[in-house]
Chains A and B, each alone.
Chain A
């Protein structure tokens, strides 16, 4: 990892005992989420104005489908990273911490994958009328 300094490689002694890559990933995803969040606000207003066919047409545009899939992937990655820090900081019981970290991972991967698959299904099949 070229982002890491020699110092960070040598120590690795944070609250979670490791995690420079995790720390960097959270910030890189944050940067990507800035334009994606601005975009989704305007997209959401358009979608709120329309009905099912509006949404299907919206997803039918490859540009929208890809941006939405990226928003889901990067967003769920960022959520996982953020919630992990919250759990690590506030939950001190070892079993509880492990259980919540696993739950966090499973929820993010499951719902992220479901959402991306749903978007791709509509993008490729053109919805069901």
Chain B
């Protein structure tokens, strides 16, 4: 139940994230000055906060989306299975988000 509404909320969030991505492409096409400005915006504390939220939203939506694809094929509907897969998606979201930001930190991307 909670994962279902979260799927929509994260989807709407990622809609805005994709527009930020389009903004990145336009900034890049705009030349080095605009690109640096845009990257500084993304690298600001608020920018990082938003990007962290986008990362978590993306992994949740991806994991839960795969869950939906199984449901569409008629698999995994049993209450116990559905509950287990819900926790699996939440666990995956946390691990993948921390892994991504850990990797970014360790490789000097932050």
Contacts and interface: CB of A to CB of B under 8 A. Distances in A.
A69 B110 CA distance: 25
Interface residues of A, number: 38
B58 interface: yes
B58 A45 contact: no
Given A37-B62, A82-B11, A48 B104 contact: yes
Most chain A beta-carbon neighbours within 10 Å: one of B18, B39, B68: B18
A68 B26 CA distance: 13
Contact of A115 (B26, B31, B100): B26
Contacts of A122: 25, 28-29
B28 to A, nearest CB: 5
Nearest to B110: A48
B91 interface: no
B92 interface: no
Interface of B: 8, 11-12, 14-15, 18-19, 21-22, 25-26, 28-29, 31-32, 35-36, 39, 42-43, 55, 58, 62, 65-66, 68-69, 72, 100, 103-104, 107-110
B32 A128 contact: yes
Nearest to A117: B29
A39 interface: no
Contacts of B36: 51-52
Contacts of B19: 107, 111
A49 B107 contact: yes
Contacts of A72: 18, 21-22, 25
Contact of A83 (B12, B100, B109): B12
Interface in A85-129: 86, 107, 111-112, 114-119, 121-122, 127-129
